[in-house]
Chains A and B, each alone.
Chain A
Amino acid sequence: MSAKRLVDLFVYVYLALFFAYLFLPLVFMVAAAFNDSRFPTMLPWQGFTLDWFWGFDSRGRAIGLFQDGRMGMAIWNSVLIGLGVILVSIPVGLAGALFLQTIRTRAKSFLYGVMVSPILTPGVILGISTLVFWRYVFDVGGGLMLAVIAQSTFIAAYCMLLFLARLERFDRTQEEAALDLGASHGLMLRRVMLPFLRPALLSGAVLAFLQSFENYNTTLFVIGIEDTLTLNIATRVRLGLTPAVNAIGVIMIALTILGAVVYEILRRREARATPVEPVAAG
């Protein structure tokens, strides 16, 4: 018995250490955003402040995160790119999923491999190959549009896997029934297939936006002279670090947790959802 106790104790200590390792660095980072210290650190604690969100230093200069216009621009760019990625990745991923689920050729597993390969490719390579290709073939240089394209190469593949998993649970007799009863293909898609796919489309959009918003490695190569939120954070860490970076961290972690919770809820609801809503007449 005591040997088992010892093993249990060891397991609990290990788990406690593991979760401390996961969370403590983030806790320190968040705490440092509220410390009244010129350098971002939690120790020594010099008092609570919100100056790193909005405030002025002793000489009256604005030091807060929200007073920084470049930051606003960077966030705006990140949002634009994220919306662009949704617009590209959802239709492309949907087409890919329908294509792979329908075709019966022997090349299917090869095509599957090609279509998911961007997920297994390092992000920098996706950025570089996109940059080279669009520069030389279409004379398109780095910028917001190229960032959307480069990120979509792998985010569309993630969406495709999501849709494919949903389609696997689709009862194909329903679409056949709709066609047999005289529905056109368009009507069947609109009234049978898309309603079934809707929850997956929604969680795909959230996933695509989150993936795009936090991307660094791919974006770095294709963004040109523009700025995004993650690039802005990295630049601040390297040049002129102040706890305003931690203030960004606090906001991003809050938004990420919110986004992750929404995504998990959507995914669970999608997993539980009943096969198809009733087909309305028309």
Chain B
Amino acid sequence: MAELFRRLGAVAGALVLGTVILWVLFLVVLPQLFMVDMSLRPHLPVPEQGGPADVRSLANYATLFANDAHRGIFLRTIFSAALVTVLALVVCYPVAYYLAQVARGPTAALLVLGLVVPFWVNEILRTFSWFLILSRNGLLNQVLMGLGLTEAPLNMGGVGAVMVGMVYAYILFMVFPLYNAIESLDRNQIEAARDLGASWPRIHARVVVPHAKPGIAVGCIMTFMLAAGTVAVPQLLEALPGGTNARWFTQVIYSLFFDGGDWNSGAAYAFALLVSCVIFIFVMMRVFRVGIADVAK
């Protein structure tokens, strides 16, 4: 801490230290601790809060696992988010490789710009654009009926629609980390492997992928976290015909808070979601052998 005051002086040093302490305590650490504390308490009417019945237990978490509907939605959310992550990785890898290693000059710059622009378009609007494609009078139904493939419009809502919307909404969070990682690979390494007779699959497995590990880890973590934690995409696509059976876990949490008023169960469910994401992050960091400083930068 002494370095801080030596470098910045007493006034600025104290300001910096104070701001950091306030930030970490009031915006990062304490809110999470209060959420956990709330998740451990029973849902009581206001007069009984703090009374003899207000004891901490894991009851709210037990409810999550005892309630078949909620547990099902929780597991489906985690599984679907993982599937969205894998799909995004598979779709993006060739694009990222091409942009980073094959394309050159103005073509490469233009293609990267083509990724930057949709990246900045809002998640809600990106989801809405798919809503319009999949809706009853939407583009896909118009095309299908125009081609005579179906007589009446199809109901396209459901888990599949939500996943399509998510891949679309979050695919760029996969492309950029992959692109950045692959771009830093020296082209000569690929040339050398090819000159030595390695096949393309082998070059990717032994040269490109090992080098791109941090990028793959970051892309997977961001995509999974966004997909598991979004409420925007399922809330919008739920309005599609046939979409009501595709509830996402975040929607369950939302309705616990604002329809049921049971903040305690809501906090427990939210913490369960957070723990799943943290486990995913640690698994990725372990599998790809990267540190936290590689992940968030």
- Chain A contacts to B: CB under 8 angstroms: 11, 14-15, 18-19, 21-23, 25-26, 28-29, 32, 39-44, 91-92, 95-96, 98-99, 102-105, 109, 111-126, 128-134, 136-137, 149, 152-153, 156-157, 161, 165, 175, 184-186, 189, 210, 214, 216-217, 220-221, 230, 233-234, 237-238, 241, 245-246, 249, 252-253, 256-257, 259-260, 264
Contacts and interface: CB of A to CB of B under 8 A. Distances in A.
Interface string B102-127: 10000000010011111111111110
A41 B129 CA distance: 10
Which one of B111, B118, B143, B266 has the highest number of Cβ atoms from chain A below 10 Å of its Cβ? B118
B137 interface: yes
Contact of B23 (A25, A95, A121, A185): A95
Contacts of B296: 116, 119-120, 157, 161
Contacts, number: 249
A96 B142 CA distance: 53
Interface in B235-261: 235-236, 238-239, 250, 253-254, 257
Which one of B24, B132, B239, B266 has the highest number of Cβ atoms from chain A below 10 Å of its Cβ? B132
| Interface class of chain A by DSSP | helix
A41 B139 contact: yes
B31 A253 contact: no
Lowest 8 CB-CB distances: which A-B pairs, in order?
Answer: A122-B229, A185-B9, A129-B31, A95-B19, A25-B129, A133-B31, A116-B296, A260-B120
Contacts of A136: 34, 38
A230 B124 contact: yes
27 contacts: A11-B98, A15-B95, A19-B114, A25-B129, A25-B132, A28-B133, A41-B132, A95-B16, A99-B20, A103-B3, A104-B3, A109-B291, A121-B277, A122-B225, A129-B32, A129-B270, A130-B27, A131-B257, A175-B7, A189-B9, A210-B120, A230-B124, A233-B128, A246-B132, A249-B125, A256-B121, A257-B117
A102 B12 contact: no
A186 B118 contact: no
A28 B24 contact: no
A238 B20 contact: no
Contact of A216 (B9, B11, B123): B123
Given A124-B270, A137-B30, 10 more contacts: A15-B98, A44-B142, A116-B296, A120-B281, A122-B225, A132-B38, A185-B9, A189-B12, A217-B230, A253-B121
Contacts of A241: 239
B149 interface: no
Nearest to B10: A185
B161 interface: no
Contacts of B273: 122, 124-125
A98 B16 contact: yes
B231 A220 contact: yes
A26 B102 CA distance: 27
B20 A109 contact: no
Nearest to A119: B296
Given A26-B118, A121-B277, A96 B23 contact: yes
